[in-house]
Amino acid sequence: MGSRVCVVGGSGFLGENIVQEAKHRGMEVISFDRSAPRQPLPGVEYVQGDILDASSLKSAMSGAQAVYHCAAIADLGEADADVMETMRTNVLGATQVAISASEQEVDRLLLASSVYAASNKGGFYRISKQAAESLVKELCSRTAMTYTVLRYGSLYGPNSQEWNGLAKIIRSAMLNGALVYKGSPNARREYIHITDASRLSVDALAPEYAQETLVISGIGSISVRELLATIAEMLDLEVEPRFEVDTTASHYVRTPYAVRREAARKLVPSHFVELEAGLQELIEGMNKDARLD
């Protein structure tokens, strides 16, 4: 769908990988973010600005057929700690991006959301994503622009955020020799590698995914106990995992879905990074970073 795309939040973990995948497929890519890119890609146009600055947004979106909106506060703890900033960024920001895209006559707006949007967990982060989804759908119903909502599950991979779940577990194990998980010992997760998630995100540009809500998560689930045992074996650690109480009660245990689950299609990759290979990649990357420090 089109050859020019704008990725709002293109310097972030998810946005950066979507930029890379879209560029790899021969698209003309504009990355819009308040932060400079970690490693600029040749041929990608980088624009720095705030998502509430309509003028800068519309300039970056000029001529784009599709816009990805990936800029958000995504850490549940951070979202709960500063509700006003969460709503400013995740709700007002999404509103400004959607309006700017519509005014620039963009064909498709792809909203990065979360499986928490279908949950009764996730605190103020979940509320912000539910609001963002609703406003994007409502605005698109009044304009010629179509939408695709991308609900991501548990993303992981190189250069993830400091608060990323898998990254935190592995970093703690490497630095402290401890396997710590904040949450229920009965928890299960569907981890998906960032390269698989970004491929599916660009696949979502296909016409058949207009006006759709898509779930992008791992193919199978793994118990946290099994995950910690795998990490311990990879790091040659002989320690028992420690489960700490999640005092916020924001994280889901076995499934993010509430009783009344909204219909959503799940995208699955034809080939994918196996979890063990992804974990090894994370461990090797952290070892390399430690040596460089």
**CB count, 10 Å around CB of 246?**
15
The C-alpha atoms of residue 108 and residue 170 are separated, in whole angstroms, by 38
DSSP the chain: --SEEEEETTTSHHHHHHHHHHHHTT-EEEEEESS--SSPPTT-EEEE--TT-HHHHHHHHTT-SEEEE------HHHHHH-HHHHHIIIIIHHHHHHHHHHHTT-SEEEEEEEGGGGSS-SHHHHHHHHHHHHHHHHHHHTSS-EEEEEEE-EEE-TT--TT-HHHHHHHHHHHHS--EEES-TT-EE-EEEHHHHHHHHHHTTSGGGTTEEEEE--SS-EEHHHHHHHHHHHTT-----EEE--TT--S-SS-S--SSPPP-EEE--SS---HHHHHHHHHHHHHHHHHH-
Distances, alpha carbon 25 to alpha carbons 4, 149, 162, 202, in Å:
11, 21, 29, 9
Does 258 score more than 60 pLDDT? Answer: no
With cut-offs at 50, 70 and 90, classify the pLDDT of residue 292: low
pLDDT tens profile 43-59: 999 999 999 999 999 99
Give CATH for domain 4-224+229-292.
Answer: 3.40.50.720
Which residues are 193's β-sheet partners? 156
- Give the angle 165-230-154 at the CA atoms, nearest 5°: 30
Percent pLDDT > 90 in the chain is 72
pLDDT at 201 over 80: yes
Distance (Å, whole) CA 151 – CA 133: 10
> Which residues 6+ apart lie within 8 Å of 233 measured at CB?
none
Every domain of the chain and the residues it spans = 4-224+229-292
Residue 37, pLDDT above cutoff 60: yes
pLDDT at 254: 56
* Residue 293 pLDDT > 80: no
Is pLDDT at 11 greater than 90 in this prediction?
yes
- Burial label for 156, CB within 10 Å (0-12, 13-18, 19+), is buried
Confidence (pLDDT) at 259: 44
Residue at 229: amino acid letter = A
**Over the chain, what is the mean pLDDT?**
91
**Higher pLDDT, residue 159 or 269:** 159
Report yes or no: 136 and 128 within 8 Å, Cβ to Cβ: no
Is the pTM above the cut of 0.75?
Answer: yes
pLDDT of residue 2: 56
- Where does the pLDDT of residue 66 fall: very low under 50, low under 70, confident under 90, or very high at 90 and above? very high
The pLDDT tens digits of the residues spanning 80-112 come to: 999 999 999 999 999 999 999 999 999 999 999
